[in-house]
Chains A and B, each alone.
Chain A
Amino acid sequence: MSAVAEVLPGVAPRWLRPVLTYVIAAVALVIYPLIVPDFWAFQIGAQSLFLGVISLSLMFLGGYGGMVSLAQMTIAGVAGYLIAIVGGNSLNFGPLWPWWAAVPIAIAGGTLAATLIGVISVRTAGIYTIMITIAIAMAFFYLAQQNYTLFNGHSGFASILPPQILGLDWRSPIPFYFLSLVVAVLSYALVLYLSRSTFGIALQGIRDNARRMRALGFNVTAHRVAAYAIAGFIASFGGILLVWFNSRISPGTVDTGPIFDILIIAVLGGMRHPIGPFLGAVIFVLLENFAIDFIDRERFNTLIGVCFLAIVLFSPDGVLGLWARFVALIKSAGAANRMTRRPIGDGNSLQPAASGRFIQGRQ
């Protein structure tokens, strides 16, 4: 895919361009929280990062596996509830274990839940996967809402805070931003690596033609369940960050609204590359925070909806698709430029040959 480095040809030799891109991105992401006010580091920056992580898990399933699961927020919620129950909360309910025990339990629990959801839903395809995953998601929502012995019903849990390690309060804006950044970068790298691994290639093969892959001797079901498990692993990290960010979790966290938000973010950003969900999350968070400033208070949700519609309407591939088209446009403009600069004689001399080929072809 073409990107900034190719839009500006001649800036650097070809081999250096990807390296340069990474360096610029890394510097920008590290400097960003240090130069902006806390609100931008915490509410915009960190929130975009962990929502991007949860959405990335959906992108991995949907983009590489062809399985659109609406239960990714639920898996994040399972991990979030686990960290609340195991790791301590305002009610002092649960075993109150330290973070180094609670975090692995939450991740393992989320991954396990994802695997079970995978086992149940892999035998369906297309719209039926969406149906069955949303059914599971709603079942979990109602369970959390009505169960008081474990989930504490409608109120859920409050005061769930990240630990104080190395003398740092990890919920203060800048440390929390960097915590989210590390998780986001690692998840991104994991998905990128997997997409090029044997497993990832096989998964993409299954997405494109499951029957042929089965004939070739691949265990299609096992690959799909594994994809669910990996996506669940990623979503669990996002879920823990989400709960630490809000410092609380309640059934509202896994209600229909947030479930669809994750899908919207993935679609907005684009499902064909792991950077898509993060772009989608940035746009989503900015709209959610600032739409109310641009338009009457009764209508600001309309503005959010119109933006989503516009992006999806003009680019079925989300922002990534828009970008790819923009790059293609620049390139073709560049090519056209080179064409017009050619001597006229050159252009003329092409024509007889071309028509000659055309006549030959007809014969």
Chain B
Amino acid sequence: MRRILLGGALSAAFAAGLLLAPDARAQDSLKIGVLATFEGPFAILGEDSLRGANMAFREHKMMAGGKKLDIITGSSDASPESAIKAARKLVEQDKVDILIGPLSGDEGLAMRDYAKTQPQVTFINGTSAAEPTTLIDPAPNFFRFTTNGVQWMAGLGSYAYETKGYKKVVTIGEDYSYPYTQVKGFMIEFCKAGGHVVDKFWTPLGTKDYSSIVASIPDDIDAIYVALGGADAINFLTQYEQAGGNKPLIGGSITVDQSVLSAKGKRRDYLIGTPSAGPLADNWDDPKWKAFVAAYKQSDAKAFNSPTLFSHGYYIEATAMIQALDAVNGDLSDGHKKFREVLSTQVVDTPTGKVHLDHNRNAIGSEFLTEIAAGEDGNLYNKVVKVIPDVNATLGVPEDEYKKTGLPSREAPACP
């Protein structure tokens, strides 16, 4: 009973904590929130994304538009709920001026809705790549300088149909928004070229046993489109090979990574010629990209051999923000009006080519079509087949017509 008093005492403690909370907003510095997944299944990727953002901040000596950048980090566990909680803390408690993030697709959708309730803050995406974030009901203060999961597939569908000659394929992917988006990106071009997707298999994230799916893959197909990532991809490929499967593969943006490329024996020969597509390619022969890779490797002792999609994405977003802040001399006093205008119209020169925004504030940028090849040393690598510049959010299809294919889901789009 008397413990209720404790509740009161604690409330008072809250109030006291508030008074202590720093709220001095120096005019010569800007508060920037960086939100990524420092916990949960994507913790490693979250750390790498911050590495990318820090590269951009350090390149500009932690300054933008003549003001010091005051970086505050927030952490989510890749769930939309945790992303919003972290964003709320950064925006409402720490009072950041600009928020960069989040990392994954569903988080981005939630952030779009949250951005609408906080018009005084400018939100810049991290690497979240869900299509509806900017295509459907976009927030006027949410900007995305990285391309989305549909755009990452640019060129792959037509390449598979025309160059590779695959007419009938099945797809397999994890059962959530990101693989839906990837399958859609592949099918937009593949179906338009005349191909058929006979069946789609969706498996829960983290599935270990693919035997029932391997058994139900029909015989009369030309290839399998695999949108699985990480351990799921390895498990599927191993089990498919052990069951005697020999159909050629087509890979999603995160399917063919170093662990797949290090395959030995029969599977190594079988993988050669597998096409995939994405927003970056490790082995691109461009001097600017090479300089970026070298800078990335030097930035942190724990950095990977080559930047991931996540450090690359956060680097681009942070660079875009700094460039726009420089253009307005760090002046956000007009309710970010000029700053947002510059963001919407500027062209950003990134390690992977030029990027600018469309009318929904989604990036128009370059994509890479790659194919697994054997190098001179015998190791497999992703050879760049083609760099496709200026890929827009609808892959060149007029927006009205594009929207008719429906939002990416288990069923949509369809061309059986």
Instruction: Choose the segment among B80-88, B142-150, B305-313, B395-403 that binds chain A (4+ C-beta atoms closer than 8 Å).
Output: B80-88
Question: CA of A6 to CA of B6 in the docked complex: distance in angstroms?
Answer: 13
Is A199 located at the chain interface by the 8 A CB criterion? no
Contact B2 A17 (CB under 8 A): yes
Given known contacts A43-B89, A248-B80, A18 and B1 CB-to-CB distance under 8 angstroms: yes
Of A21, A28, A42, A282, the contact of B2 (CB 8 Å cutoff)? A21
Is B331 located at the chain interface by the 8 A CB criterion? no
- Interface flags for B1-40 (1: CB within 8 Å of A; 0: not) read 1111111111110110010000000000000000000110
Given known contacts A36-B15, A38-B92, A155 and B176 CB-to-CB distance under 8 angstroms: yes
Contact B8 A154 (CB under 8 A): no
Residue numbers in A under 8 Å from B176 (CB-CB): 153-155
Is B77 located at the chain interface by the 8 A CB criterion? yes
Which residues of A from 30 to 62 have beta carbons under 8 Å from B? 31-32, 35-40, 42-45
Given known contacts A1-B2, A248-B110, A298-B38, A25 and B7 CB-to-CB distance under 8 angstroms: yes
Question: CA of A298 to CA of B38 in the docked complex: distance in angstroms?
Answer: 7
Question: How far in angstroms is the closest Cβ of chain A from B255?
Answer: 19
Question: CA of A21 to CA of B5 in the docked complex: distance in angstroms?
Answer: 5
Contact A27 B81 (CB under 8 A): no
Contact A4 B9 (CB under 8 A): yes
Contact B3 A275 (CB under 8 A): yes
Residue numbers in B under 8 Å from A24 (CB-CB): 4-5, 8
- Interface flags for A137-159 (1: CB within 8 Å of B; 0: not) read 00000100110100001110011
Question: CA of A17 to CA of B2 in the docked complex: distance in angstroms?
Answer: 8
Contact B77 A257 (CB under 8 A): yes
Question: How far in angstroms is the closest Cβ of chain A from B76?
Answer: 11
Residue numbers in B under 8 Å from A27 (CB-CB): 8
Question: How far in angstroms is the closest Cβ of chain B from A87?
Answer: 18
Of A29, A250, A252, A320, the contact of B7 (CB 8 Å cutoff)? A29
Contact B15 A32 (CB under 8 A): yes
Closest to B80 in A: A248
Question: CA of A275 to CA of B4 in the docked complex: distance in angstroms?
Answer: 7
Residue numbers in B under 8 Å from A25 (CB-CB): 4-8
Residue numbers in A under 8 Å from B390 (CB-CB): none
- Interface flags for B132-163 (1: CB within 8 Å of A; 0: not) read 00000000000000000000000000000000
Count how many chain B residues have C-beta atoms less than 8 Å from C-beta atoms of the other chain. Answer: 42
Contact B88 A43 (CB under 8 A): yes
Given known contacts A25-B4, A27-B8, A40 and B18 CB-to-CB distance under 8 angstroms: yes
Which residues of B from 60 to 105 have beta carbons under 8 Å from A? 73-75, 77, 79-81, 84-85, 88-89, 92-93
Is B187 located at the chain interface by the 8 A CB criterion? no
Question: CA of A218 to CA of B113 in the docked complex: distance in angstroms?
Answer: 54
Question: CA of A159 to CA of B39 in the docked complex: distance in angstroms?
Answer: 25
Is A170 located at the chain interface by the 8 A CB criterion? no
- The B contact surface, by secondary structure, is helix
Given known contacts A3-B3, A24-B5, A25-B4, A298 and B47 CB-to-CB distance under 8 angstroms: yes
Contact A278 B7 (CB under 8 A): yes
Is B290 located at the chain interface by the 8 A CB criterion? no
Looking at A148, A252, A279, A323, the one whose CB has the most chain B CB atoms below 10 A away is A252
Of A39, A273, A323, the contact of B88 (CB 8 Å cutoff)? A39
Contact B410 A6 (CB under 8 A): no
Question: CA of A22 to CA of B381 in the docked complex: distance in angstroms?
Answer: 70
Residue numbers in A under 8 Å from B74 (CB-CB): 292
Question: CA of A320 to CA of B2 in the docked complex: distance in angstroms?
Answer: 12
Count how many chain A residues have C-beta atoms less than 8 Å from C-beta atoms of the other chain. Answer: 58
Contact A155 B177 (CB under 8 A): yes
Residue numbers in B under 8 Å from A39 (CB-CB): 88-89, 92-93
- Interface flags for A307-333 (1: CB within 8 Å of B; 0: not) read 000000000000010010000000000
Residue numbers in B under 8 Å from A320 (CB-CB): 3
Contact A273 B5 (CB under 8 A): no
Is A303 located at the chain interface by the 8 A CB criterion? no
Residue numbers in B under 8 Å from A253 (CB-CB): 81
Question: How far in angstroms is the closest Cβ of chain A from B18?
Answer: 6
Given known contacts A4-B6, A146-B204, A257-B77, A32 and B11 CB-to-CB distance under 8 angstroms: yes
Question: CA of A117 to CA of B84 in the docked complex: distance in angstroms?
Answer: 32
Residue numbers in A under 8 Å from B18 (CB-CB): 36-37, 40
Is A246 located at the chain interface by the 8 A CB criterion? yes
- Interface flags for A77-105 (1: CB within 8 Å of B; 0: not) read 00000000000000000000000000000
Given known contacts A4-B6, A39-B89, A297-B75, A246 and B84 CB-to-CB distance under 8 angstroms: yes
Is A183 located at the chain interface by the 8 A CB criterion? no
Question: How far in angstroms is the closest Cβ of chain B from A10?
Answer: 16
Looking at B4, B6, B84, B92, the one whose CB has the most chain A CB atoms below 10 A away is B4
Which residues of A from 274 to 289 have beta carbons under 8 Å from B? 275, 278-279, 282, 288-289
Contact B175 A29 (CB under 8 A): no
Contact A36 B106 (CB under 8 A): no
Contact B175 A153 (CB under 8 A): yes
Closest to A6 in B: B2
Looking at A28, A29, A257, the one whose CB has the most chain B CB atoms below 10 A away is A28
Question: How far in angstroms is the closest Cβ of chain B from A150?
Answer: 15
Question: How far in angstroms is the closest Cβ of chain B from A328?
Answer: 15
Question: How far in angstroms is the closest Cβ of chain B from A70?
Answer: 20
Given known contacts A1-B3, A21-B4, A292 and B88 CB-to-CB distance under 8 angstroms: no
Is A300 located at the chain interface by the 8 A CB criterion? yes
Further pairs besides A39-B89, A250-B79: 17, Cβ < 8 Å:
A4-B6, A6-B2, A17-B2, A18-B1, A21-B4, A25-B8, A28-B12, A29-B8, A37-B93, A39-B93, A40-B14, A45-B14, A146-B204, A248-B110, A279-B6, A289-B93, A298-B38
A-B pairs, top 10 by smallest CB distance, nearest first, are A3-B2, A28-B8, A25-B4, A39-B92, A275-B3, A154-B176, A21-B5, A32-B11, A25-B8, A252-B79
| 30 A–B contacts, CB within 8 A, in A order | A2-B2, A3-B5, A4-B9, A5-B2, A5-B5, A21-B1, A21-B2, A24-B5, A25-B5, A25-B6, A27-B8, A28-B8, A28-B9, A29-B7, A29-B8, A29-B11, A32-B14, A43-B88, A45-B14, A142-B204, A146-B175, A154-B175, A158-B80, A250-B81, A275-B3, A275-B6, A289-B85, A297-B38, A297-B75, A300-B38
On A, residues with C-beta under 8 Å from B are 1-6, 17-18, 21-22, 24-29, 31-32, 35-40, 42-45, 142, 145-146, 148, 153-155, 158-159, 192, 246, 248, 250, 252-253, 257, 273, 275, 278-279, 282, 288-289, 292, 297-298, 300-301, 320, 323
